[in-house]
Amino acid sequence: MERPESFAQRRDRENEVVLDAATLPMKRFFALDHDMYENGALPAKTKELLGLAASTVLRCNDCISYHVKEALEHGATREEITECLAVALVVGGSITIPHLRHAFAFLEELAAGEGGT
């Protein structure tokens, strides 16, 4: 599995390539995606957990990695992330199990990088 530092660097580099070539509508979509996860009626932490559940059901490991990291940075606990992933499993069914494995492995990598917290 890709390490959290490598994931962040790759994501930033690839986003830069996309945005350099992007049309105005593409740039607007990226901006909308960014803005949607800001605090609003729902706090950013809740939105990141919603993104994590949706990404798990949609089976996007890059998105799962991103939302696990962001949820933690916005104050989500391991228990909240676990419960979020449990909801995703119920909604998405057994086909999401490989993506749950990815989410928990990435969560472990992040914890190990922070001294095992």
Whole-number Å distance between alpha carbons of 32 and 28: 6
| Structural domains in the chain (count) | 1
Whole-number Å distance between alpha carbons of 104 and 91: 18
CATH of the domain at 66: 1.20.1290.10
Domain that holds residue 79: 4-112
Report the residue count for the chain: 117
Q: What is the pLDDT of residue 1?
A: 78
Rounded to a whole number of angstroms, the distance between the first and last alpha carbons of the chain is 20
Residue 39 domain-assigned?
yes
Residue 18 domain-assigned?
yes
Residue 20 domain-assigned?
yes
Q: How confident is the model at residue 117 (pLDDT cuts 50, 70, 90)?
A: very low
Q: Which two tokens stand for residue 88?
A: 């995703």
Residue 107 domain-assigned?
yes
Residue 117 domain-assigned?
no
Residue 88 domain-assigned?
yes
pTM score, two decimals? 0.90
pLDDT > 90 in the chain, percent: 91
